[in-house]
Chains A and B, each alone.
Chain A
Amino acid sequence: MKSSIAILWVLAVAIAVCAGIFASADPDGLEKVIRLLKIEHRSGYSPEPLISYAVGAIKHPTFSAVLGGIIGILLIIFIFHSILHLRHLIVLLAKLMRAEKRENDVK
């Protein structure tokens, strides 16, 4: 299982690097339709440091996009590892509560 997970990680990093180098800068399908039909919309919150998958502090556009992609991959892995640890914590708390209840029942 560990090796199968590693396959997905390696693929993700390889694609993020390729995306940073080769991705098209043209508008995507929805953006194109919005422009074609001249649909107006208000702009909203945009986080400055990582807008459009680029790291604002790095001037080189390719490095910036590759780094942005890798940061995104790490964020996703971090979120799922947090879910994993949260689950362990909940299981541990449930065990402690059961043990306490058993002790009280014995008393």
Chain B
Amino acid sequence: MHIPNGLLDPKVSAGAAFAAAGALGYCISRVRQALAKAAPEALLAGAGNIVANISDGSKRLAGNIADRHIMKMGAAGSLIFAAQMFNFPVASGTSGHILGGILAAIVLGPFSGTIVMSIVLSVQSIFFADGGISSLGANILNMAVIGTFASYYVYYLLHRSFKNDAGFYSGIFLAGISSVLLASIACSVEMALSGSGQLNVILPAMAAVHLKIGAAEGLISIIFVRYLSSQKFDLEGKAADEE
């Protein structure tokens, strides 16, 4: 669903780029706050062992937690990059690939997930011509911001409502569908605003294809999450009572 160069009107591209930049700035500030908050909490968890200067220890621990989280973001980003390369057939003569938004959000949390998705999309656009440079803002808005955030809150609501495995996995599946579907709706609106055609023509065509891709996204995300859970992987966005 990477929008190529020249498909969107420059005004639409600019508007989408501003919206994406604003959302990304907010995500970066939330991740910085979360990492700063994580250190004192980790210190309290091991308070019995603390004999040294609390302030220095807190700063050192904050640094370690931040370093680990950034490395984990890089590893998750490389996984999402590879997963997006894998086009699978969805209908005769049509293929699709997962976006990875819900996977990123469950592995890292929605804010870090959005940042990782934005960097993956930027690399794809700049180095691999997958998505235009002029439409990078729109691609980030559709796939990283809407595709990750909206899908995470679908998952979050279901998981919080049921708080069991059924809620967890059905949440991931529905989040996968909504991630791709909402991103395709946003893409259709941008195309219609750019004069590519009528929204009532573009939207049904986009939704029909992307509903199938969304179902595949949901299933593939469940497979990844199940595998990572079996490896005792720390899924930072899994908890239903955080963020």
The complex places the Cα of A34 from the Cα of B194 at a distance, in Å, of 13
10 contacts between A and B (CB under 8 A): A9-B75, A11-B79, A15-B82, A15-B83, A44-B133, A76-B78, A76-B119, A83-B70, A84-B71, A91-B63
Q: Which of B122-136 contact A (CB under 8 A)?
A: 123-124, 126-130, 132-134
Provide the residues of chain B in CB contact with A83, threshold 8 Å. 70
Q: Which of A35-76 contact B (CB under 8 A)?
A: 36-37, 39, 41-47, 50-53, 65, 68-69, 71-73, 75-76
User: What are the nearest 10 A-B pairs in CB distance?
Assistant: A44-B5, A80-B74, A42-B6, A8-B75, A24-B95, A29-B209, A15-B82, A19-B86, A19-B85, A41-B7
> Does the CB pair A46–B129 fall under 8 Å?
yes
Q: Is B159 an interface residue (CB 8 A)?
A: no
* Interface SS of chain B: helix
A-B contact count (CB 8 A): 194
Instruction: Give the shortest distance, in Å, between B67 (CB) and chain A (any CB).
Output: 6
Instruction: Give the shortest distance, in Å, between B153 (CB) and chain A (any CB).
Output: 23
Provide the residues of chain B in CB contact with A65, threshold 8 Å. 85
Instruction: Give the shortest distance, in Å, between A104 (CB) and chain B (any CB).
Output: 22
> Does the CB pair B93–A77 fall under 8 Å?
no
The interface size of chain A toward B, counting residues with CB under 8 Å, comes to: 57
Q: Which of B94-137 contact A (CB under 8 A)?
A: 94-97, 107, 119-120, 123-124, 126-130, 132-134
Known contacts A4-B72, A30-B187, A44-B4: A73-B78 contact under CB 8 Å: yes
Q: Is B205 an interface residue (CB 8 A)?
A: yes
The complex places the Cα of A47 from the Cα of B63 at a distance, in Å, of 37
Query: Nearest chain-A residue to B205 (Cβ)?
Result: A33
> Does the CB pair B71–A5 fall under 8 Å?
yes
Provide the residues of chain B in CB contact with A4, threshold 8 Å. 72, 231-234
The complex places the Cα of A46 from the Cα of B54 at a distance, in Å, of 53
Q: Is B175 an interface residue (CB 8 A)?
A: no
> Does the CB pair A52–B130 fall under 8 Å?
yes
> Does the CB pair A12–B79 fall under 8 Å?
yes
> Does the CB pair A84–B78 fall under 8 Å?
no
Q: Is B176 an interface residue (CB 8 A)?
A: no
Provide the residues of chain A in CB contact with B119, threshold 8 Å. 76, 79-80
Q: Which of B37-45, B144-152, B166-174, B196-204 contacts A (4 or more CB under 8 A)?
A: B196-204
Provide the residues of chain B in CB contact with A76, threshold 8 Å. 74, 77-78, 81, 119-120, 123
Q: Which of B72, B85, B134, B232 contacts A53 (CB 8 A)?
A: B85
Instruction: Give the shortest distance, in Å, between A21 (CB) and chain B (any CB).
Output: 10
> Does the CB pair B123–A44 fall under 8 Å?
no
Query: Nearest chain-B residue to A65 (Cβ)?
Result: B85
The complex places the Cα of A98 from the Cα of B217 at a distance, in Å, of 49
> Does the CB pair B6–A5 fall under 8 Å?
no
